[in-house]
Amino acid sequence: MSDPRVIGAEAIEDARQRGRLIVEVMPGDIVTALAKETAERLGLKLVDGPVEMPAPVRTDGITSLRRVLYRRSPKWQAPSRTPRKARRLGKLALIGAGGVGGNIAHLAAMQDMAEEIALIDIAPGVAAATALDLNHTSGITGAGGRCIGGETLDMVGGAEVVVVTAGRARSPGMTRADLIDVNARVIRQAAEAIRSEAPNAVVIVVTNPLDEMTVEMLRATGFPRERVLGMAGTLDSSRFRNALAQAAGVSPADVDAITLGSHGDEMAPISSRATIKGRPLSVFLSDAQIEACVKDAITGGGQVVALKKSGSATIAPAHASIELINHMRGARTGHVPVSVMLQGEYGIDGVVLGVPAHLGQGGLVKVEELRLTEAENTALHAAAEAIRGRLGL
């Protein structure tokens, strides 16, 4: 048997410096008397780990703790983020093969999720080069899907799913809303091609400003709301979970949290339903820490833009886009935050907004109506009004 872990005063000081409010004591751990004193002085809680502790033993000033400050719900398990075996798409088309589009293509090829991945970009050679580059990986990965690339939008022909990342990204000092006019033109061009060449496709809009561009895509394709989705909530939720995990000093896999509302200043991270290891956030974090995590989720995109100086985040947005496709093809279960046209859900009608929803082969299956606090509901309605205002609805 390995030696027992000794939790001393230093470990408590260290936990405090990392901004933690609890120190987990696992069965068999030994907590020194000084550590106990230090924890009390600093206001840190010593909390039992997942299994109940054995009876307390006292030997020469060393105490093993038995006090159970909280118990996990026996039903709770960390949410599984491992893909299940899923349906392979026939053709996936990507309009825009820049930072986000190129990364989506890479992830899609690595997951071998489609027989054909078509990359389309007006920049000469960019899409064809990326497609060829990706095909060159197949001798290592063994992935059977083929990538093709070109400059004309008719290459969307026959696609089951089209992801649109074409358009300008913002630079420091700009808001996403500053891109409305320039990117709406690109969305209209893409929509025209999708409507005529891939009339049965599900479209995932990524181009910013996300909620407004999703409305533009709906209008220009004339597709039903089920087949026009906007990607933002999966990205913002991942940022929120990352911030919460960092603050609590736990693995992001132990955090369950989502953001709703707009992909902008009116984003609504839903703290009331968020959990860490299946427990409410307040068990692990102070109000100030939770508020800081909310702010981090809302400003995450801007933080990357400020660091990059030109262009915006590409890797996490690509993962978030892939997450939506994986929900559609059955690789993921449960609901996922996605921007959709609301038809009365949450008491909101006629505007695209990020909400939790179930997805399937044909796109939107059902919007999940979660019970929110009054403040969260108000934030959701405020986001809807802000988007309406920007679109002059």
Ligand X SMILES: O=C(O)C[C@H](O)C(=O)O
Ligand Y SMILES: NC(=O)c1ccc[n+]([C@@H]2O[C@H](COP(=O)([O-])OP(=O)(O)OC[C@H]3O[C@@H](n4cnc5c(N)ncnc54)[C@H](O)[C@@H]3O)[C@@H](O)[C@H]2O)c1
Distance CA 393, CA 389 (A): 6
Q: Taking CB under 6 A as the criterion, which residues in 190-209 touch ligand X?
A: 208
The one of ligand Y, ligand X, none whose footprint includes residue 304, by CB under 5 to 8 A per kind, is ligand X
Q: Which residues pair with 23 in a beta bridge?
A: 46
The one of ligand Y, ligand X, none whose footprint includes residue 305, by CB under 5 to 8 A per kind, is ligand X
For residue 193, how many other CB atoms are within 10 A of its CB? 20
Look up residue 366 and give its two tokens: 């059902």
Print the binding letters for residues 301-340 with ligand Y: x by CB under 6 A, - otherwise. ----------xxxx--x-----------------------
- Residue closest to 390 by CA, chosen among 167, 194, 183: 183
Nearer to ligand Y among residue 154 and residue 385 (C-beta)? 154
For residue 20, how many other CB atoms are within 10 A of its CB? 20
Q: How far is the CB of 164 from ligand X (least distance, A)?
A: 14
- Gyration radius from the chain CA atoms: 24
Q: How far is the CB of 347 from ligand X (least distance, A)?
A: 27
Q: How far is the CB of 235 from ligand X (least distance, A)?
A: 6
For residue 331, how many other CB atoms are within 10 A of its CB? 18
The one of ligand Y, ligand X, none whose footprint includes residue 363, by CB under 5 to 8 A per kind, is none
- Residue closest to 357 by CA, chosen among 335, 326, 334, 329: 335
Distance CA 179, CA 170 (A): 7
**If DSSP codes are grouped into helix, strand and coil, which group holds residue 234?**
helix
Buried b (16+ CB within 10 A) or exposed e, 290-310: beebbebbbebbbebbeeeee
Q: Which residues pair with 30 in a beta bridge?
A: 6
Q: Which residues pair with 364 in a beta bridge?
A: 359
The yes or no reply on residue 304 touching ligand X (CB under 6 A) is: yes
Print the binding letters for residues 254-273 with ligand X: x by CB under 6 A, - otherwise. ---------x----------
263 has catalytic annotation: yes
The yes or no reply on residue 126 touching ligand Y (CB under 6 A) is: yes
Q: Which residues pair with 259 in a beta bridge?
A: 269
Residue nearest to ligand Y (CB): 98
Among 20, 91, 106, 170, binds ligand X (CB under 6 A): 170
The yes or no reply on residue 241 touching ligand X (CB under 6 A) is: no
The yes or no reply on residue 235 touching ligand Y (CB under 6 A) is: yes
- The active-site residue, picked from 263, 319, 335, 358, is 263
The yes or no reply on residue 96 touching ligand Y (CB under 6 A) is: yes
* Cβ–Cβ < 8 Å for 203, 227: yes
Nearer to ligand X among residue 109 and residue 169 (C-beta)? 169
The yes or no reply on residue 148 touching ligand Y (CB under 6 A) is: no
- Residue closest to 117 by CA, chosen among 320, 130, 126: 130
For residue 118, how many other CB atoms are within 10 A of its CB? 25
Q: Tell how strand 114-120 and strand 146-150 pair up.
A: parallel
* One-character DSSP codes across 261-305: E-SSTTEEE--TT-EETTEEGGGT--HHHHHHHHHHHHHHHHHHH
* Cβ–Cβ < 8 Å for 218, 180: no
By rule CB under 6 A, what count of residues binds ligand Y?
35
Print the binding letters for residues 5-44 with ligand X: x by CB under 6 A, - otherwise. ----------------------------------------
Print the binding letters for residues 56-85 with ligand Y: x by CB under 6 A, - otherwise. ------------------------------
Q: Taking CB under 6 A as the criterion, which residues in 189-218 touch ligand Y?
A: 189, 206-208, 210
Nearer to ligand Y among residue 171 and residue 246 (C-beta)? 171
Stretch that binds ligand Y, among 15-23, 33-41, 98-106, 281-289 (CB under 6 A): 98-106
The yes or no reply on residue 184 touching ligand X (CB under 6 A) is: no
Amino acid at 10: E
Q: Which residues bind ligand X (CB under 6 A)?
A: 169-170, 176, 208, 235, 263, 301-302, 304-305, 312-313, 317
Q: Which residues bind ligand Y (CB under 6 A)?
A: 95-101, 120-123, 126, 165-170, 179, 183, 186, 189, 206-208, 210, 231-232, 235, 263, 311-314, 317
Q: Which active-site residues does the annotation give?
A: 263
